[in-house]
Structure 1
Amino acid sequence: MNLPSPIRVALVDDHSLVRDGIKALLGVMAPLEVVGEAESGAEAIALVGRCQPDLLLVDIGLPDINGLELTRLLRSRYPALKVLILSMYDNHEYVSESLRAGASGYVLKNAPSREIIAAIEAIGSGGTFYSADIAQRLIADKPTDNELTPRESQVLYKMAQGMNNKEMARDLDISVRTVETHRLSIRRKLNIDKPAALVKYAIDHGIIPR
């Protein structure tokens, strides 16, 4: 590992066994120091303010805040902070949203340990790292900045019908967290927050009939 100085790493995951496993993996890497860990978004915000890590390893499924929204929040407060998403979700929308949130990489939790180490080395050296199959899908499926994906259009249609997140998840056969990610992406792309304005957009663009 050829980093110019020890990299300070913090872990954010609501499962202690996962954090212990990552710490054991990182224990063989040098120069590297695990400076703290958190099991929720609120704890992560306090941890970053207190410990000032160089790199944060973040899970998406946190109990109080979506890990992608946490990434966006922390990156806006601490621009020098690097974030690596470690997730069980092999999901194009999550990966795309992680890019927009400011993460420097995305690796699946079940990836080989060498891939997680490679990601930390790359990001610690100022680069980015995405698993090869994930990177290929990002290149193939990348929409324009303000273009909604087909799934986002479906979510917007359901939003215009007044459905809540649980109803949309059930109707579209996806998780509630995936619905939340789509809604965040829709708001970012359209720069629209008010429900009435979203309905108007959906009508104007043929997503729902007039």
Structure 2
Amino acid sequence: MIYDRPINIMLVDDHPMMRDALRGRLETRPTFRVVAEAADAEEALRHANDMAIDLVVTDIEMPGTDGIALTTKFRTKFPAIAVLVFTLHHEEEFILRAIEAGARGYVNKKEPGSIIINAINKIINGQTVFPQVAKPESLLTLREKQVFWLLGDVKTNEDIAIKFDIVEHTVADCRSRILQKLRTVVPVEMADNPALLIIYAVKYRMRCHYPDS
């Protein structure tokens, strides 16, 4: 997702003053071009149908469909359009929901303007931008948590496959999904080093019981 032209951005927020302020901030950068604004999800989807948009910056709280649900719709209908959630919500629940919905980034509105500019630059260069969360394993399915817990006991793929009566390839796929999910919300040095994720799994095992529900 690297561009050699200005990035076409759509702003989605039901407060016109917020859109105006954000537009003013973004358009100080010659590489950003705000081509559309929407006050709700339905208007945003219409613009996406009619215009060439690269990135959407959306609030969460809006009339009708909220920004998280809108992110899911974009992932389904317009997978090439990246979504950055821009909100006052700082709670971990919302960050995790945004990740699960397919957002590429999450920035709090209280952050300095330079933060969202940096976030957009990272996203258009193929990165994700999320705050660290206290319990990244909340992103995992039950089976992924079970595999992750066993990784904390330094179990091999073969050991785990035997326990669950599955083939090793399935375990390898599960480990890959765990890595992809956690790399968005764990420290950068850990996300880039699968071996360090095992250390995180050990810590997870020490503070949690075996996940069976």
The TM-score bracket by the shorter chain reads 0.5 to 0.7
Equivalent of residue 135 in structure 1, options 132, 137, 155 = 132
Tell me the amino acid that sits aligned with residue 134 of structure 2: R
Distance (whole Å) between structure 1 residues aligned to residue 70 and residue 134 of structure 2 = 24
Contact 2:11 2:56 in 1 (8 A): yes
- Mapped to 2, the partners of 1:3 and 1:113 lie a distance apart of 22
Instruction: Within 5 Å, give how 1:117-156 maps onto structure 2.
Output: 117-130=117-130, 134-137=131-134, 139=136, 142-146=138-142
Q: CA deviation at 1:3?
A: 5.0
Distance 1:138 1:53 in 2: 33
Rg: which structure is higher? 2
Q: Matched residues in 2 for 1:68 and 1:32: separation?
A: 23
Deviation at 1:31, TM superposition (A): 1.4
Aligned-pair CA distance for 1:138: 5.3
Q: CA deviation at 1:66?
A: 1.4
Corresponding residue for 1:91?
91
Aligned-pair Cα RMSD in Å: 2.0
TM-score by length of 1: 0.64
Aligned amino acid, residue 9 of structure 2: V
Query: Structure 2 unaligned runs (5+)?
Result: 144-212
| Deviation readout 1:90-138 (Å, 9 max, x if unpaired) | 01111101011010000001111111110010011121112xxx22435
| Residues 15-54 of structure 1: pairs in structure 2 closer than 5 A | 15-54=15-54
State the partner residue of 2:186.
none
Could you tell me how far 1:38 is from its partner in structure 2? 0.1
* Partner deviation per Cα, 1:143-167 (whole Å, 9 max, x = no partner): 53248xxxxxxxxxxxxxxxxxxxx
Partner of 2:207: none
TM-score in terms of structure 2 length: 0.63
User: After the TM superposition, which segments of 4 or more aligned residues of structure 1 sit over 6 Å from their partners?
Assistant: none
Residue 126 to residue 29, structure 1, CA distance change in 2 (3 Å): same
Question: Which segments of 5 or more consecutive residues in structure 1 lack a partner in the other structure?
Answer: 148-206
The SS at the match of 1:142 is: helix
SS at match of 1:89: coil
